[in-house]
């Protein structure tokens, strides 16, 4: 294009800032269809991503009881004997149970860190045996692995994932408006979004050992990550100033961030902010982040409102599925022998390859 499309939504600093400067955005009016509410929330979202890369999400409509029930299910899973959890050990689709790693994956090793001290159970979209993707063995599109003797776990978890998927499909319209695109711009690639629920258990770590973290500093790979309210703190984010700030518990508010694909899609206009977890709370910490991304056939190419003659696209087009595969191989030991696109093909950029320091 010849010039940047004029803004129709100007970034607006939200009135409420949490902790060390993380904005809070209330979307209740938008979800209720209140006139002007979408534009207001979109303006605040634009400010949040251009200045912080994280925000607190209030007024989302996800019942507190549903969130609490999912935390309970995560604790039930991790309370099972190790031999039971290993029956659903993580596979090369990153579905299943991942124990605490014995060796640091590439991104942690580059920081001089020990393996992240967390175990996790990963789920993706639920699929039936005759799904064409399942039959073809398409990467990240096979059936979930479920524990065999945990009554109610599967049903509750699928209800939570379905609720979160529906919320994200509404929120992407705010992202489009924030980028001065038609509200339905992302609808097609989020019609059947790629989603991941990671149910993690973080044991306590030694606060005096700076070589160990519950989860090493990193950026996320995708479009949107939503972390429900967590009374056991431990999450910190690295502000653009370089300062690390804690993300405190806010009742009924999700913590939301964007990942490297959102950063790339917007030509680096929207931030993908590094974050980490250090559980020095004195108790075990559980987390249930939900990752919602475009379908894997989506071509990530610089958005028209994020380029100009003076600001041309910084990255070549890439299918999100190819990027997700490359990214996973940088993060997980169980993906080390999987053939992935080369770094030259992916052209991930500095945000995705930086050895973040803490």
Q: What percent of the chain lies above the pLDDT cut of 90? A: 82
CB 253 within 8 A of CB 229: yes
Q: Residues of 329-352 as b/e, b for ≥16 C-beta within 10 angstroms? A: bbbbbbbeeeebbeeeebbbeebb
pTM recorded for the entire structure: 0.94
Evaluate if residue 49 carries a pLDDT over 60.
yes
Q: What is the mean pLDDT of the chain?
A: 93
Give the C-alpha distances (Å, rounded to integers) separating 334 from 102, 217, 326: 11, 20, 13
Measure the CA–CA gap between 338 and 125, rounded to whole angstroms.
Answer: 21
What pLDDT, on the 0 to 100 scale, is given for residue 357?
56
pLDDT tens digits, 306-352: 999 999 999 999 999 999 999 998 888 888 888 888 888 898 887 77
Q: Pick the range with the lowest mean pLDDT from 72-86, 220-234, 242-256, 338-352.
A: 338-352
Task: At 114, give phi and psi (nearest 5°).
Answer: -75, 165
What pLDDT, on the 0 to 100 scale, is given for residue 196?
98
Measure the CA–CA gap between 154 and 146, rounded to whole angstroms.
Answer: 7
pLDDT tens digits, 257-301: 999 999 999 999 999 999 999 999 999 999 999 999 999 999 999
Measure the CA–CA gap between 67 and 125, rounded to whole angstroms.
Answer: 19
pLDDT tens digits, 160-208: 999 999 999 999 999 999 999 999 999 999 999 999 999 999 999 998 8
**Spatial CB neighbours of 91, under 8 Å, sequence gap ≥ 6:** 142, 145, 334
Rounded to 10 degrees, what is the CA torsion of 172, 196, 341, 220? 70
Phi-psi group of 159: left, alpha or beta (phi > 0 → left; psi -120 to 50 → alpha; rest → beta): alpha
Evaluate if residue 2 carries a pLDDT over 50.
no
What pLDDT, on the 0 to 100 scale, is given for residue 7?
58
Q: Provide the angle, in degrees to the nearest 10, between the axes of the packed helices 64-78 and 153-178.
A: 130
Residue identified by tokens 């990240």 is 140
Measure the CA–CA gap between 326 and 320, rounded to whole angstroms.
Answer: 10
Measure the CA–CA gap between 202 and 287, rounded to whole angstroms.
Answer: 8
122 - beta bridge partners?
96, 198
What pLDDT, on the 0 to 100 scale, is given for residue 355?
62
Q: Which helix (H) or strand (E) holds 169?
A: helix 153-178
Measure the CA–CA gap between 262 and 110, rounded to whole angstroms.
Answer: 24
Span 84-94, mean pLDDT?
97
Residue identified by tokens 């902010």 is 273
């Amino acid at each position: 294009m010849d010039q940047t499309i004029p803004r129709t939504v100007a970034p607006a600093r939200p009135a409420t800032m949490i902790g060390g400067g993380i904005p809070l955005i209330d979307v209740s009016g938008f979800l209720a269809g209140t006139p002007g509410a979408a534009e207001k929330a979109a303006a605040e979202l634009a400010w949040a991503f251009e200045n912080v890369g994280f925000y607190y999400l209030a007024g989302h409509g996800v019942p507190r009881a549903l969130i609490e029930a999912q935390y309970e299910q995560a604790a039930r899973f991790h309370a099972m004997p190790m031999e039971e959890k290993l029956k659903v050990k993580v596979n090369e689709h990153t579905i299943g149970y991942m124990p605490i790693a014995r060796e640091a994956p590439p991104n942690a090793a580059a920081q001089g860190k020990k393996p992240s001290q967390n175990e996790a159970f990963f789920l993706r979209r639920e699929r039936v045996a005759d799904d064409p993707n399942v039959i073809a063995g398409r990467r990240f599109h096979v059936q979930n692995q479920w524990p065999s003797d945990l009554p109610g776990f599967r049903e509750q978890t699928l209800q939570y994932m379905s609720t979160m998927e529906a919320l994200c499909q509404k929120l992407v319209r705010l992202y489009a408006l924030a980028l001065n695109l038609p509200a339905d711009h992302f609808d097609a690639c989020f019609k059947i979004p790629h989603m991941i629920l990671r149910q993690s258990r973080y044991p306590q770590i030694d606060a005096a050992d700076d070589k160990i973290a519950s989860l090493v500093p990193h950026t996320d790979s995708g479009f949107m990550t939503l972390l429900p309210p967590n009374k056991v703190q431990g999450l910190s984010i690295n502000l653009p100033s370089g300062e690390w700030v804690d993300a405190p518990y806010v009742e009924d508010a999700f913590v939301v961030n964007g990942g490297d694909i959102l950063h790339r899609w917007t030509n680096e206009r929207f931030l993908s902010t590094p974050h980490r977890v250090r559980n020095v709370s004195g108790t075990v910490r559980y987390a249930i982040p939900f990752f919602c991304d475009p379908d894997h056939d989506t071509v990530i190419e610089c958005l028209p409102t994020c380029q100009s003659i003076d600001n041309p696209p910084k990255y070549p087009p890439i299918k999100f599925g190819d990027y997700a595969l490359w990214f996973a191989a940088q993060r997980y030991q169980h993906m080390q022998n999987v053939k992935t696109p080369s770094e030259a093909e992916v052209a991930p950029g500095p945000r995705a390859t930086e050895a973040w320091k803490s």
